[in-house]
Chain A
Amino acid sequence: MKSSILRQAVILALFALLPAAGEAIYFRDKISWRSAISPSEMVTVEQAREWGDTAIWIDARPDDEFANDHVPGAILLNEDRWNELLPQFLAVWSPSKKVVVYCSSLSCNASREVAQRLRKEAQLSDVFVLEGGWEAWLKKKR
């Protein structure tokens, strides 16, 4: 009887794979399998550099990492001291500026979280996450 339940469960699980695979194919360009950030919310180092002075760089890493080194002109804004640091960022922000947030690497979440909070809490629209984060910046700098 147990094998019968298991067999039924496997059949159902396989049935559900078919439409799921179809949906995954349909959304292949709209969702990234590599990162939780949608492609439209990401920016590469090259693109962000092209924006020049119209971009504000936000460093979402912890204080000590920022103190160690950071993108020239970047402003520290991490979740540890969000309430304290947010006014400093808003003081230099203007509607014409694009915001580029980065954290340490491709796998870190801090830049995504900070970008999300800027969109939701500060109601900013042009907020982008730097693809590859600080590591990607260092590679391109060389």
Chain B
Amino acid sequence: MKETSNLQRPMLNTEPTAYPTLGVGRSSDIGRFLWRILGLVVAAIFIFAGLTKILDLDHLIADLQQLQFANALADLRNVSLANPGEFARDIDNFKILPWPVSVALAFYVPWLEIFCALGLVFRFLYRGALSILSASIVVFTLAIIAAKVRGLDITCGCFGHASQHWSFPSHLATNLTILVALLALLFKATSEIRRQIPFNSR
């Protein structure tokens, strides 16, 4: 029986947990640590973005913003599911999609954000998660720009009511920062895979 060596098997769903040991040393450890932190920060942003749409966290966020931690703890015990209708209306306000599609996206997008973010945390389906998040950020950004050009007064709903009063430049700056981080992570992950898999197995 002909055996295929492990090296020649393309890695489909899992990502390398250890980086190649080229230039092993303190600086590569720090670099690896910083990339990991960046991935976790991006994941945290998308977990937060997803949770603010699925759960009613308005009171909790307001109390945290005012540093009222005792009240925030009480809010935490009373957290309930958010009405997806609000996010659907936020999507509908862009006047791009028909209402039923806005409703479907209101149910789907928060979970997609959370699942992709968990992919980043556990490095499972890692590059798939990064590409979905990058694509979604590009779409959100284009939608925000289109709304601005058409003179629509929109609430993006990106972070639930926490982002309700964000200005257009704030939206744009936030989205572009996240996009740069996502693309950097995707580029890094892809280059690591290229180094590990022989050319004919890519």
Contacts and interface: CB of A to CB of B under 8 A. Distances in A.
B79 interface: no
B162 interface: no
- For chain B, the bracket of interface size reads 35 or more
Interface of B: 10-13, 54, 81, 83-85, 88-89, 92, 99-100, 102-104, 107-108, 111-112, 114-116, 119, 125-129, 131-132, 190, 193-194, 197, 202
B132 A13 contact: yes
Interface stretch (A22-30, A44-52, A61-69): A22-30
Contacts of B83: 27, 30-31
Contacts of B107: 20-21, 23-24, 27
Interface in A18-60: 19-21, 23-24, 26-27, 30-36, 38
B132 A31 contact: no
B129 A4 contact: no
- For chain A, the bracket of interface size reads 20 to 34
Nearest to B202: A1
Contacts of B131: 5, 8-9
A24 B109 CA distance: 12
Interface of A: 1, 4-13, 15-17, 19-21, 23-24, 26-27, 30-36, 38
Nearest to A11: B125
A30 B197 CA distance: 50
A32 B103 CA distance: 8
A12 B109 CA distance: 12
A20 B10 contact: no
B85 A12 contact: no
A108 to B, nearest CB: 12
B99 A19 contact: no
